[in-house]
Amino acid sequence: MAESWSFLDTFETDFRPLVVIELAKGTKEETIEWFTNRIVDKKTNGGAQLLVKPLVTENGKENIYLVGASHLRLLLGAETVGLVKECNDNSMRTFTYSSRKTFKDFADDNHNFLTVAECQYIIKHELENLRAKDEKMIPGYPQAKLYPGKSIVRRLLTSGILVQIFPLHDREELKKLRHSWYGRVKVGYQPLDEIRCYFGETIALYFGFLEYFTFALIPMAVIGIPYYVFAWEDYDKYVMFATFNLLWSTVILEVWKRICAIMTYRWGTLLMKRQFEEPRPGFHGALGINPVTGREEPVYSSIKRQIRIYLVSLPFVCLCLYFSLYVMMIYFDLEQWALDYHKENESNFSNLMLFVPSIIYAVVIEIMNRIYRYAAEFLTSWENHRLESSYQNHLILKVLVFNFLNCFASLFYIAFVLFDMKLLRQSLATLLITSQILNQFAESVLPYWLQKRHKKRVKKHMSSLKTDTDLSLVEQVNLEKEMGTYFGTFDDYLELFLQFGYVSLFSCVYPLAAVFAVLNNITEIYSDALKMCRVYKRPFAEPTANIGVWQLAFETMSVISVVTNCILIGMSPQVNALFPDSKMDLVLTVAFVEHLLLAIKFIMAFVIPDKPREIQLKLAKLEFESLEALKQQVRATDMYNSEK
């Protein structure tokens, strides 16, 4: 490897821009020079050894830099981040530069061995790992303190000098991807491997899950249709439907883990070693020694964090939940009042008044949701988590609980306090359909339209200037840097999660929910694809091996749905009629069935292996090989040491 790094110095290929760095307007010259020097500087001097080129814009005021890297540099970077690629013998192995010849499709002149998304991920990783040496501050900004080992990019970001870093779209590739993804109307699977090559594993996995989930809902939808068409009201039929649904939802969640393992094995992320995680940008604390790495970095007492979580965040979340329930009760009072008013003085006005409470409630919920989201982000950031993953988990948990309550509390109230099945069905349908329409609109149609308008304006502006520089690249960068940022798959998963709630929690009352969910998801795939390709900035690829905390969230929802469905079936008049003598027997039977279903669920989850046998064997083989290799390596190092 030492020789490879030195080899790198004498070797310079033509520049291919991969990542854009935008510095704030009016950033001091010395800062820019220092920063670009550090990026270009040799690895042995603590630089990143990347290539940087300023983007010449028409007014020259903007500080935009394009970052690229030589082919060799990227291969060495691939080894650093621990990419896993396919070998000639079809097995997946961690890429190392010295074993490069054993990898499939590798050739020294094949610059497509690494996908563009991988190259951009490597550059991002290298930039983020650019660390301060003996600088005490960012040159030109004495207030932006540095200490040895601090990530320079993170300090530049937190002090506002660095506006953004984003990867460039690859127009050719994007065109191809768009065509095969949603370019033509077709029945079939999404090109997940191509999506993964272009957007990375996290996003490909979301689309994979969306697709899988849609297919998995089809049996529910198909079985649900006759219930609606023939208006079946026999509750033995509903019981069968609900039982099928409950077991089916367990099966699909378990099978997803297997499919996910197959996909991520193929993509190499299942095997990818977790890199040592750096502190997230917002993390702060007194300078100390990290007990794990022994490096100097901010440390923050875990006890203090626990206190903040349990004594501030938790009570706050509970308060919000209580407040949300309180608002709901007011809504039901208003509703009652409107109904009474309508009954007393029936008129067009009173008819209109009937809708007022719902509208007010919808608006209030939306406002509460947004305020709560800000509060949750603020609180989670104040909890001062060291790792981005831990921050995300705490944020997701907070938002999830609140959204769950907001969406389903009124339905629970109608079902289990008012006992009004007709109203429940009606509310469920209204909530499901309106939320789906609103989401589709707010998520893609609106941003797409805004983006189109903006593009036109930029194009007009550009063509009026008519400079001789590489216009298309400047144009592209200018366009893309104004595009919205895609903040990750959180909202997309949340939407699916709530949809799963609508489908499963009250499935025995409204069997048609699955049909709407399937229809929505088919258009969702297209609108999300559109969103990714045309509305947002290209996001950095993020390797991942599973859908993380969402798997747990979906599984929890499916456990809750066993309880709700059993209660709903028990409350139905038809089932009540089966136990004319004793309500006790009814309740006991329902409770027994519920426990039985829960037990079956857990046994099923336990019995179905999380990874298909084929993948298990491949993993075992790799583990065996690495054990053998370790023995060899120890021997080689020993021999090397003894020869010295």
CB 51 → its own copies: shortest distance, Å? 24
Name which position in 302, 345, 348, 464 contacts its own copies (CB under 8 A).
Answer: 302
Compare residues 461 and 595 and give the one whose CB is closer to its own copies: 595
Compare residues 273 and 422 and give the one whose CB is closer to its own copies: 273
276 binds its own copies (CB under 8 A): yes
Report the candidate in 51, 16, 56, 35 with the shortest Cα–Cα distance to residue 162.
35
318 binds its own copies (CB under 8 A): no
617 binds its own copies (CB under 8 A): yes
C-alpha span between 422 and 46 (Å, rounded): 69
Q: How far apart, in Å, do the first and last CA atoms of the chain sit? A: 19
Return the range that interacts with its own copies (CB under 8 A); candidates 27-35, 84-92, 422-430, 613-621: 613-621
Phi/psi zone of residue 83: left (φ > 0), alpha (ψ -120 to 50 degrees), beta? Answer: beta
Report the candidate in 226, 219, 221 with the shortest Cα–Cα distance to residue 252.
219
497 is written with which tokens? 């999660």
641 binds its own copies (CB under 8 A): yes
Return the range that interacts with its own copies (CB under 8 A); candidates 43-51, 114-122, 258-266, 586-594: 586-594
Name which position in 187, 229, 286, 292 contacts its own copies (CB under 8 A).
Answer: 292
C-alpha span between 246 and 12 (Å, rounded): 60
Neighbours of 517 (CB within 10 A): 26
164 binds its own copies (CB under 8 A): no
273 binds its own copies (CB under 8 A): yes
Residue 52 main-chain phi, psi, to 5 deg? -130, 140
CB 606 → its own copies: shortest distance, Å? 9
627 binds its own copies (CB under 8 A): yes
CB 557 → its own copies: shortest distance, Å? 14
307 binds its own copies (CB under 8 A): no
110 binds its own copies (CB under 8 A): no
311 binds its own copies (CB under 8 A): no
CB 219 → its own copies: shortest distance, Å? 24
Q: Which residues contact 501 (CB under 8 A, 6 or more apart)?
A: 404, 407, 408, 557, 561
90 binds its own copies (CB under 8 A): no
Q: What's at 375, amino acid-wise?
A: A
Q: With CB under 8 A as the rule, give the number of residues binding its own copies.
A: 38
577 binds its own copies (CB under 8 A): no
Helix (H) or strand (E) holding 124: helix 116-128
Q: How far is CA 209 from CA 21, 220, 267, 297, 337, in A?
A: 32, 17, 15, 38, 44
Q: 544 with 201: CB under 8 angstroms?
A: yes
Radius of gyration for the chain, computed over Cα atoms and rounded to the nearest angstrom:
29
301 binds its own copies (CB under 8 A): no
Return the range that interacts with its own copies (CB under 8 A); candidates 432-440, 447-455, 507-515, 622-630: 622-630
C-alpha span between 56 and 343 (Å, rounded): 71
Report the candidate in 361, 562, 395 with the shortest Cα–Cα distance to residue 494.
395
Q: Which residue has the tokens 């950033």?
A: 27
DSSP label at 535?
A: I
Residue 465 main-chain phi, psi, to 5 deg? -85, -45
CB 1 → its own copies: shortest distance, Å? 5
Compare residues 38 and 618 and give the one whose CB is closer to its own copies: 618
CB 56 → its own copies: shortest distance, Å? 39
CB 612 → its own copies: shortest distance, Å? 11
1 binds its own copies (CB under 8 A): yes
C-alpha span between 575 and 62 (Å, rounded): 71
314 binds its own copies (CB under 8 A): no
Binding-site ranges for its own copies (CB under 8 A): 1-4, 79, 96, 98, 273, 275-276, 291-293, 302, 563, 583-584, 587-588, 591, 595, 613, 617, 620-621, 623-624, 627, 633-642
